[in-house]
Every structure is written in C-alpha cells, then in structure tokens.
Structure 1
Amino acid sequence: MTVHYWQPIAVLLFLAVYTSAWGQPSNPIPPFSELPALTTEHGWEPLEFPGIGRHSQYELVSDPDQGQVVQARADNSASGLITRVSLEPGDSLILRWRWKVGNTLEKGDARRKSGDDYPARIYVAFEFEPEKAGWFERAKRKTVSALFGEELPGKALNYIWANRLPQGDIVANPFTDDTMMIAVNSGEEELGQWVTIERDIVADYREAFGDNPPPLVGVAIMSDADNTGGAATAWYGDISLGRR
C-alpha cells in the first residue's frame, strides 16, 4: 500500500517550481475545451509523486454533450494535472466546473489514510503565511525549501467526489491538517451524469480554516486509487475562476 505522505508536499513543490508561461486572462485556468494538447506549453503539467510508480492517465476526449473534456483513469495509481495561477481572492471568488464519474471507490474513506482516494477531485492551493504558522511548520518548510531551493505554498482545499463522507461535510485530510476535504458530491446517486459545481472558495476557506484566504497559487485535477488499490474513471470539463 502506498502512503500519500508526499502528495501534499509534492503539490506544493510543483507550484513553487513552475511559473506561468501564459497570460492571466479573465479566467486564469486554461479551458480543456480549447486545448490542442495537455502540455506545459498549453497550461497543464503532469503532477506526479515521489515513491508512486503507477500514474493515473489523462487524455483529451470528445464528449457528445460537453465537447472536448479530460478523461481520467486511475488504476491502483495516483497523479494529477496542475496549472499555476496568481490571484487575490478578495471577498468572493467563484470556482466553477463540470465533472462526471463512472464509479466510486468501494474502500474510499476521506477520514482514513487507507481510504484517501477519490475518482475525482479539484485541488486549490494558497500562498503560505509564515506569520500564522507554528515553529514546527516553519522549520519543516525551511528544510524542504533548502533542499529544493523554493518557497512552498501553504494551505489547500480539496473538492472531492466522496464515497462515504456525506455531501457537504468538511474534514481534514488524514495526512495533514493544512488540507481540508470538502465533499461536493458523494456516493453513487449521480454516477454517469455530468454535474455542475459552483463554490465560493473564500467562503469555503473561512469555514474550513477559520480565517480569510491568502492569494491563490494553483489549481489541480486528480483521480487517484493507489491507497485503496481500486480503479475509477472520471471526466472533467472546463474549470473557471471569477467574481460574482
């Protein structure tokens, strides 16, 4: 069984190392529907984790109802696609996307390390705030930064299609309290259907962490099944960020 200890750090390292090679339009997230390829040049980069040799597969496919979308396949695997943004959340910042999953993971459980797998998730990362961190957290980040030569981002929200966690619940990731899991879908009722999700990430951050969010630094998609040893298929439509 693979442990996800490195996953939160790997996401942060990626965001620290890669800078944006494209402009920041009104929606700073490159739309899947318009991409010729899933490459760094077009705004999305593979997100892979140390010690995890099996990677989830992502490809652009045509959907009869949605046009061009990303199809994700996880089979006892874990990896994602990530894009960097730089944006002040302000009083409200709306994250909107459409997704569909073919199945949930039978052993999936957001409250347990052994069940920390999801057929679909959206990962939102924020800038690190050293003045609000404890001594141990600052020391840990200083060590990692010394090894990799980069400053790491901070807290994160994960919007998940859960298995057992009730829709609407917010829990800490079983590996780190700096990442909060928000079940925006749960169970099998909407399997095989395109679902539109709209979240105010400022309101969600305040509820999850009890504070106002710092600047946003990155957004990722991820379908993973390495902790449960299961398999899942999901589809992601365009993701957008904007004001009301």
Structure 2
Amino acid sequence: MRKLLPAVLALSFALPATAGPISFASGWQEQRLSLFSSNDYTFGESLSLTSKGAVSIAWTPVMRENWNKRGASWSWTVAESVPATNLSQKGGDDRNISLYFVFVPEDVALRLEGAGIRRLMGNDQVRVMQYAWGGNHARGQVIQSPYAPPGQGVTIALRPAGTGSHSENVDLAADYARAFGGQPGALVGLAVSGDSDDTDSMIRAAIGNLALR
C-alpha cells in the first residue's frame, strides 16, 4: 500500500458534500495512488470495488452539519479476498476494504473549508482512523499506520482476511480516545479503499448502508 494518508488528506471541501445517511451515488471521487494501476469502483446504492494488484481510494467530504457525528454503522461484503497480512508493515499491508474517518479540530475545519489540496496535504492536526477488513489481528486492535507520523493515523482491525458479509457499528469517539487520546474534532471526510498491490492478489468487495450518528 502506498501513501494512503496523504491521499486522504487531499480532501477538497469545495466538492459536493455528503449528508448522513451517506449516499454512495454522488459526491465520491477516486484518488489514484499510482500512474499505472487503480481499483475499479462502482457508485450507486452501495460502493463496490474490484482490485487486481492495485490500490486507490474513493473519498468524499462531509457537510458541516455532520462534523459533530461520533458514531457510524455500515454493512460490507467480500466475495474475493487478499491473503492475511501484517497491517503494521509498510509495503506489506494489503487489506480487502477499509473505511476511513478524517478529523481535524473544528477551528481548523472552518479555516480549511473550501481549501485546495495543497493546503490540506501534510496538515499535522489531521487525525485519520481506518477501519479495516484484512490482516490477521484481534478485533478492535489499534495499529499505528506505517505511512503516517506517530499519532496522526491508525488502523483499527475489524475483520481478518477472508470472505463473507457483516454489519458493523462503531463508537468513533471511544475509538478516537483509544487511538489518539482526547475527543475528536470535526469529522470532515470519509474514504473507502481496497489494497491488493503488495500481494498481487484479487479483491471483490462492497460497502453500503453507511450512516453517521
């Protein structure tokens, strides 16, 4: 997996905003992380992805009235899976599907509203939690992102590598406190990724019924 955190930070709040429950039909854009390969996304009632030895993300900003949301639920399915990997290993951390929640302090969110990519990239006040289906970690384990400075990005393991269908319900505030300490700021962005480039394997997955609360 290449540098997903900088890509997630490249949210532009000038783009169409989302509202909860979250629609996958509009407002999402793919962020390519390689010139030579990317995932295939289908947007609609749910977001489906196919990945063959590739990695990229689909992302959307969150509208201001949802900046204070502190919980989320969704359903997801995996029909074809990457092998189990070590999600803490840079360059060896493939996973089937991940859902990212991007937070910044509210005063920072207000200053950055409408900002372009250059101003958002590298902001050291951004915090990213990534819930992952992949690897072989205990459910709920908090894993420091190997692509982010310490204290800025984490992966939270939910499901080990494999196929199936599941529903999730997470407490963003509690997980944020475990990952970073304190309370989350404004929830300003969401992203979904699939990552199969390190193992050159195949993913077929989908996510839907995403709601913020």
TM-score by length of 1: 0.73
Q: Could you tell me which residue of structure 2 aligns to residue 89 of structure 1?
A: 68
Work out the CA distance in 2 between the residues paired with 1:18 and 1:226.
Answer: 29
Give the whole-Å Cα distance in 2 for the aligned partners of 1:130 and 1:227. 38
Mark the CA change 1:130 to 1:53 in structure 2 (over 3 Å): closer, same or farther. farther
Instruction: Give the alignment's Cα RMSD to 1 decimal.
Output: 2.6
Give the alignment of 1:43-122 within 5 angstroms.
Answer: 43-49=27-33, 51-60=34-43, 68-85=45-62, 86=64, 87-89=66-68, 93-106=70-83, 108-122=85-99
Higher-helix-fraction structure: 1
- 2-structure distance, mates of 1:226, 1:181: 18
Look up the match of 2:119: 150
Q: Tell me if structure 2 keeps the 8 A contact 1:84–1:218.
A: yes
2:14 corresponds to which residue? 19
| Structure 2 residue aligned with 1:183 | 157
Over 3 Å counting, the alpha-carbon distance change for 1:21 and 1:199 in structure 2 is: same
C-alpha distance in 2, partners of 1:235/1:180?
A: 22
Letter in 1 for 2:27: G
Could you tell me which of 186, 189, 192 is aligned with 1:215? 186
**Structure 1 contact 113–227 (Cα < 8 Å) conserved:** no
Q: Secondary structure at the match of 2:200?
A: coil
Q: Does 1:7 align with 2:24?
A: no
Cα distance in 2, alignment partners of residues 226 and 187 from structure 1: 15
Distance 1:20 1:210, change over 3 A: same
- The 3-state SS of whatever aligns with 2:4 is helix
1:195 and 2:166 are equivalent in the alignment: yes
1:25-40, aligned counterparts within 5 Å? 25=19, 27=20, 29=22, 31-32=23-24, 35=25
Q: Contact 2:4 / 2:147 at 8 angstroms: preserved in 1?
A: no
Q: Distance in 2 between matches of 1:148 and 1:232?
A: 29
Change (3 A) 1:52 1:168: farther
Gaps of 5+ in 2: 109-114
Aligned length: 200
Q: Report the alpha carbon displacement of residue 108 of structure 1 after superposing the two structures with TM.
A: 2.1
Structure 1 residue aligned with 2:111? none
1:163 aligns with 2:135: yes
Runs of 4+ residues deviating >6 angstroms: none
Contact 1:104-1:163 within 8 A present in 2 as well: no
SS at match of 2:85: coil
**Contact residue 94 and residue 135 of structure 2 kept, 8 A:** no
Q: Secondary structure at the match of 2:58?
A: strand
Counterpart of 1:166 in structure 2: which amino acid?
A
* C-alpha distance 109-130 of structure 1, shift in aligned 2 (>3 A): farther
Q: Distance in 1 between matches of 2:157 and 2:118?
A: 34
Which residue identity does 2:31 align to in structure 1?
L
**Cα distance, 1:21 vs structure 2:** 2.5
Matched residues in 2 for 1:237 and 1:28: separation? Answer: 10
